């Protein structure tokens, strides 16, 4: 009878050896590769700490609701003496200590819509890789501080008082808020005559633009190939865009030049719900024919690259503006920029959302509106929100 290791028979030792080999084979073939998902979480730990520390209690609540942590763990983690950052650090450590499956469920939680709405950086972090063609297109640089100059030309008070554009001050305020938030230096120029607008645009083109982008918002009455000054004079497209060609404005060569134009052509009239059309002159009797059949030529842009012109309406139609809440186009533009810029969406995708949004509006007289864009951009244009 054997009484210890030293006295084990060769057969006993052989069986023990075979059993050990079998156990090793089982471990190698059955046990999952250690902590693949945990490694993913660990590699992004610093990002998650920086992002989620903005509202640690919100994250803890959702982690507890999803049964990633228990109620007791929630209470321990949500210690009143802990900083937001310490709470998230302890939460991440707790999740990783629970193993791969818990790590996987926590990463899935961070991709939930409610979490990503509260922490916009999460959506960009989990964005799937873009196709090769998307990468090849590239993206305009958008990192300068400030990003560039945003000029707002807002014609409200006209020489003919009946042409005044009530409600345009609401658009102006919205544009100031959004483009200041996007990191632009904002300049506002109100109530300019046609000669003053031409001189202003020419002077702007002569500036040394050190930023990454130039934005110009023109809010006025308009026609087929022009917008109007407060004197009723026309400013043709060549005087709007021509000064900013690469040959005329070297400091903007190769940089995106973006124009948002709130204006239209048609017969001036007042809707019962206090919605006005941004147009000049005309006869109310011809209103219906103009809305349905007028052939408006679009403002043209230079053949040069790096231009984007977004107009509030397509040819033949009015561009509506509420005297109380601003224009359909500018208000939608500001709303969509606010919603989608933090997600890293490019401007052309955002303008599709504007088209969809504005096209759903209907006045009480069953009038509708469809914005339009003309683009010679060579790359993706993304308005990166400054941190």
pLDDT of 201 higher than 80: yes
Higher pLDDT, 236 or 124: 236
Q: By three-state DSSP, how is residue 189 classified?
A: strand
Enumerate residues 6+ apart whose C-beta is below 8 A from 89.
49
Higher pLDDT, 242 or 264: 242
**CA–CA separation, 301 vs 299, rounded Å?**
7
Q: Which of 264, 334, 340, 341 is catalytic?
A: 264
pLDDT of 354 higher than 50: yes
Q: Which of 221, 249, 334, 340 is catalytic?
A: 221
pLDDT of 20 higher than 70: no
pLDDT of 1 higher than 60: no
**CA–CA separation, 205 vs 192, rounded Å?**
17
pLDDT of residue 117: 87
pLDDT in tens, 302-344: 668 899 999 987 665 667 788 888 999 999 999 999 999 999 9
Least Cα distance to 253 among 222, 209, 218 occurs for 209
pLDDT in tens, 279-303: 665 444 333 333 322 233 445 556 6
As a whole number, mean pLDDT of residues 15-28 equals 48
pLDDT of 272 higher than 80: no
Burial class (CB in 10 A: 0-12, 13-18, 19+), 265: buried
β-strand pairing of 257-262 with 234-236: unpaired
**CA–CA separation, 236 vs 215, rounded Å?**
18
pLDDT of residue 181: 97
pLDDT of residue 192: 98
pLDDT of residue 182: 97
Least Cα distance to 191 among 202, 178, 200, 183 occurs for 200
pLDDT of residue 14: 52
pLDDT of residue 284: 40
Structure tokens at 30: 């059955």
Q: Which of 28-42, 128-142, 187-201, 211-225 has the highest mean pLDDT?
A: 187-201
Q: Which of 156-170, 184-198, 346-360 has the highest mean pLDDT?
A: 184-198
Helix (H) or strand (E) holding 322: strand 320-322
Least Cα distance to 363 among 315, 324, 300, 319 occurs for 319
Active site residue 264: yes
**CA–CA separation, 60 vs 106, rounded Å?**
11
Active site residue 35: no
Domains in the chain, please, with CATH?
36-116 (1.10.533.10), 157-375 (3.40.50.1460)
pLDDT of 188 higher than 80: yes
Per-chain mean pLDDT for the chain: 81
pLDDT of residue 155: 96
Q: What is the DSSP letter of 160?
A: S
**CA–CA separation, 313 vs 327, rounded Å?**
11
pLDDT of 4 higher than 60: no
End-to-end CA distance of the chain: 77
Least Cα distance to 277 among 221, 231, 333, 223 occurs for 221
pLDDT of residue 275: 55
pLDDT of residue 320: 78
Which residues of 165-212 form beta strands (DSSP E)? 185-190
Output the pTM of the full model: 0.61
| 142-175: burial string, b at 16+ Cβ within 10 Å, e else | beeebbbbbbbbbbbebeeeebbbebbebbbebb
As a whole number, mean pLDDT of residues 12-28 equals 49
pLDDT of residue 223: 79
């Amino acid at each position: 009878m054997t009484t210890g290791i030293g006295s084990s028979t060769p057969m006993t030792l052989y069986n023990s050896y075979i059993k050990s080999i079998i156990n090793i084979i089982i471990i190698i073939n059955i046990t999952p590769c250690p902590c693949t998902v945990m490694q993913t979480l660990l590699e992004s730990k610093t990002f998650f700490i920086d992002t989620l520390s903005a509202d640690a209690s919100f994250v803890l609540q959702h982690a507890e609701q999803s049964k990633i942590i228990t109620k007791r763990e929630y209470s321990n983690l949500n210690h009143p003496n802990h900083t937001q950052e310490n709470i998230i650090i302890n939460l991440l450590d707790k999740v990783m200590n629970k193993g791969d499956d818990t790590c996987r469920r926590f990463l899935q939680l961070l991709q939930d819509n409610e979490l990503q709405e509260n922490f916009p950086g999460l959506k960009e972090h989990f964005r799937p890789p873009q196709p090769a063609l998307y990468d090849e297109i590239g993206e305009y640089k958008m990192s300068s501080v400030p990003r560039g100059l945003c000029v707002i030309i807002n014609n409200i008070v006209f020489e003919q008082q009946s042409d005044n554009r009530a409600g345009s001050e609401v658009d102006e305020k919205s544009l100031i808020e959004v483009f200041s938030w996007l990191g632009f230096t904002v300049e506002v120029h109100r109530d300019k005559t046609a000669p003053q607008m031409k001189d202003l645009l020419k002077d702007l083109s002569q500036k040394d633009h050190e930023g990454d982008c130039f934005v110009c918002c023109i809010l006025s009455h308009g026609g087929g190939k022009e917008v109007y000054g407060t004197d009723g004079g026309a400013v043709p497209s060549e005087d709007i865009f021509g000064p900013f060609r690469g040959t005329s404005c070297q400091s903007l060569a190769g940089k995106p030049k973006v124009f948002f134009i709130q204006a239209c052509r048609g017969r001036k009239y007042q809707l019962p719900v206090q919605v006005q059309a941004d147009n000049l002159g005309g006869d109310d009797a011809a209103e219906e024919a103009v809305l349905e059949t007028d052939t408006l030529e679009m403002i043209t842009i230079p053949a040069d690259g790096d231009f984007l012109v977004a107009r509030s309406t397509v040819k033949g139609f009015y561009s509506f503006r509420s005297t109380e809440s601003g224009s359909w186009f500018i208000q939608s533009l500001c709303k969509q920029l606010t919603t989608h810029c933090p997600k890293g969406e490019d401007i052309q995708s955002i303008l599709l959302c504007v088209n969809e949004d504005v096209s759903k509006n209907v006045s009480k007289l069953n009038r509708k509106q469809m914005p339009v864009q003309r683009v010679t951009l060579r790359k993706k244009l993304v308005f990166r929100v400054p941190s």
